[in-house]
Structure 1
Amino acid sequence: MNEKQNKRLMHLIRRVHGLMENEDIQKQRTVQNQLGSIFANSKNYQFTPLKVNTMDAEWTNYIPKEQKTDNGRSMIFYCHGGGYMTGSSLYARELTTKLSRHTGLSVFCFDYRLAPEFPYPAAVEDALTAWSYILSCGYDAKDIIVAGDSAGGNLALVLTLLLREQHAKLPKSLVLFSPWTDMTSSGKSYHAKELVDPVLTNAYIQKAVSCYLGDTPADSPYVSPLFADLSGFPPVYIQAGTNEILLDDSHSLYKQLLTHNIYAKLDIFDGMWHVFQMSPIAKAEEAVQKAALFIK
């Protein structure tokens, strides 16, 4: 995709997201689920819905016609994005399908409770419940890759932080797509990149912060893992685009991980936007392929 085509696509994405931001949260959720159904509609994937207590969840498996992939007991534990206000396992199919196809692994995604109906710590509690469920299925933590996009990247980090504090076994690694790591919005990219990010705006971010935090301080490590002690974390792979508001969240997280002597890798994709990996473009496939190489 050349620069002109890239600008056209970014303009289209900006228009779609601009329209969605003007709708109420429930309508945003409905539209996202519809998009998930459209983009991930393929007979090459098997989607298995289930309940974890009262929480909806879903397994995604890529099953090519010529073979069925067998990867032992490894799997991907996926935390969807959406600013903690929107998103679902259905919407996340735009990424979970790519991950399953490029890795050959089963991907588990769960519908944690959303703000403003259920502010912090509801999503974190649900992530812990989902993690316990996966362990009860016979998976070992050392064989589980925890992945997530945007707010889901935040949740993946907070889940790992809490598991470490509980002296529990930690996942094999973390894979984060445009993670939201700083709810204080301290990075320069929040303003420097707002005009080129077709997905996020500062107004939307502040709305999400207000809905999710309640009385919780924005610099708490349990909502802004950038400020957490990350020592003892498993290897972390991070992807971001040059044209996204949260670019500094990724840069700063990467630096923090290195400060704590954690193996970390950061890939920045030129001209790409917030969670571009969900888009039906070649650069998204390239990015997920790189993530798959890290996972393997």
Structure 2
Amino acid sequence: MPQSAATANVDILSQLTGQRLAVLEAMDLARRYRVDAGRLSRSVERVMARVENRIIERILISRLKRALRRAGSLEAAQLHIAEMRGGYESGVLETLPSFLPRGPSGRGRTPPTQPLRSLDRPRPSTANRPLVLYVAGGGFIMPPSRKQKNMVQRLAEAIDCEVMLVPHRLAPEHPFPAAPIDFMAHYLHLVDQGHAPGDIFLSADTAGASIVLGALQMLQQDGADLPAGVVLFSPWCDLSLSGWSYITRSMSTQSPFRMETAAFCARLYLRDEPATLPLASPVFADQKGWPPILIHTSELDIHFDDAIRMAENGRKHGCEVRINYWDSPRHHLERLSTETAAQSFREVNAFINRHWPGHA
């Protein structure tokens, strides 16, 4: 797409969201961060991000086409899914590569993961810091990638908390609502083992946000005690793709994702369930009684409208939802070991300290 057309798309998005953001910023519910870098560094970063976005876009579309070619044979489709998941988890077929080197804290670490079956022994909430339950996004169909696992490790170090990377069943074999049910079971198991809900925070990136917030609604419906807060990175909260950012970002090189790939993943996850179901698309949920939510995203992200709508709905329903957004061209910027990611984690740490009952 010509640069002038891409610029026009950005202008359209700015016009559509600027006034809404201004209202949220005036109420101290949204804050814009600028990437701290010189003019040359910023220019290089944007060129690199544009190239990276285009490569990721090509990778995703290519994989989507291969998946569709195998859709006629159940055996071929299952084999393709198994191969893709193995390569994704090992890093061989990582969807979100990066041209930036990882920092020292991101090298060769194993994340603090702990599946449900290893939580059988009681662990009372006597730690000096809260526990964070994390769901890594993978379009509902992929396990956590190596880069996401490294990010979870860096997050744990930055906020000085135990962060548990929670597994869940994957679509299309296990469609909605299997994933939020699995996550709810992990949370309730921890509570049964002695962890106070006030000592637990929920967190997720991208598609994981739908899973976590779906589980939160299920917990609320069942009358369970809710966690202390929720932290979301580049959250995907609208599986109907109704926000303007889905259209404008799909038409530009500013985002690595397009509506086709998002619609494909949503279809595999939802099957015949409506995309506007609040348990799947939290932008349509009543947020009354929810714990505080912190959202970190980029103003160039395809899911940016989801963040705005979550904050607007939170204001309407009396739920504290705060957005911190960056002028970064990167999707899920925390996956990179950069100063911007470190800044994001510092804000997460402040949020946890502010809302954790055990913080002095």
Query: What is the alpha-carbon distance in structure 2 between the residues aligned to residue 199 and residue 27 of structure 1?
Result: 23
The unaligned stretches of length 5 or more in structure 1 are 58-69
Determine the structure 2 residue equivalent to 1:295.
352
Q: Is the 1:257–1:264 contact (alpha carbons within 8 Å) kept by the matching residues of 2?
A: yes
CA distance change for structure 1 residues 136 and 229 in 2, over 3 Å: closer, same or farther? same
Determine the structure 2 residue equivalent to 1:264.
321
Q: Looking at secondary structure, tell me which structure has more strand per residue.
A: 1
5 Å-filtered alignment, 1:244-259, equals 244-259=301-316
Query: What is the alpha-carbon distance in structure 2 between the residues aligned to residue 90 and residue 171 of structure 1?
Result: 28
CA distance change for structure 1 residues 113 and 258 in 2, over 3 Å: closer, same or farther? same
The unaligned stretches of length 5 or more in structure 2 are 1-36, 68-80, 95-100, 120-125, 354-360
5 Å-filtered alignment, 1:50-69, equals 50-53=114-117
Determine the structure 2 residue equivalent to 1:277.
334
Q: Secondary structure at the match of 1:233?
A: coil
Query: What is the alpha-carbon distance in structure 2 between the residues aligned to residue 224 and residue 47 of structure 1?
Result: 29
**Number of residues of Structure 1 aligned to a counterpart in Structure 2:** 280
Q: Percent identity?
A: 24
Q: Is the 1:89–1:109 contact (alpha carbons within 8 Å) kept by the matching residues of 2?
A: no
Determine the structure 2 residue equivalent to 1:133.
189
1:7 maps to which of 40, 46, 52: 46
CA distance change for structure 1 residues 198 and 271 in 2, over 3 Å: closer, same or farther? same
1:173 is aligned to 2:225: no
Determine the structure 1 residue equivalent to 2:58.
18
2:253 maps to which of 190, 193, 196: 196
Query: What is the alpha-carbon distance in structure 2 between the residues aligned to residue 268 and residue 277 of structure 1?
Result: 12
Determine the structure 2 residue equivalent to 1:67.
none
- Tell me the CA shift for residue 21 of structure 1: 4.4
Over the aligned positions, Cα root-mean-square deviation in angstroms equals: 2.5
- Tell me the CA shift for residue 78 of structure 1: 0.5
- Tell me the CA shift for residue 270 of structure 1: 0.5
Q: Is the 2:114–2:166 contact (alpha carbons within 8 Å) kept by the matching residues of 1?
A: no
Query: What is the alpha-carbon distance in structure 1 between the residues aligned to residue 243 and residue 330 of structure 2?
Result: 16
What do residues 26-49 of structure 1 show as CA deviations (whole Å, max 9, x unaligned)? Answer: 44433432338x967647x56455
Higher relative CO (Cα under 8 Å, sequence separation at least 6) belongs to 2
Q: Is the 2:201–2:230 contact (alpha carbons within 8 Å) kept by the matching residues of 1?
A: yes
Determine the structure 2 residue equivalent to 1:85.
141
Q: Secondary structure at the match of 1:193?
A: helix
Determine the structure 2 residue equivalent to 1:158.
214
Q: Looking at secondary structure, tell me which structure has more helix per residue.
A: 2
- Tell me the CA shift for residue 198 of structure 1: 3.6
TM-score by structure 1 length?
0.86
CA distance change for structure 1 residues 287 and 50 in 2, over 3 Å: closer, same or farther? closer
Query: What is the alpha-carbon distance in structure 2 between the residues aligned to residue 162 and residue 110 of structure 1?
Result: 17
Which of the pair has more CA radius of gyration?
2
CA distance change for structure 1 residues 174 and 144 in 2, over 3 Å: closer, same or farther? same
Determine the structure 2 residue equivalent to 1:240.
297
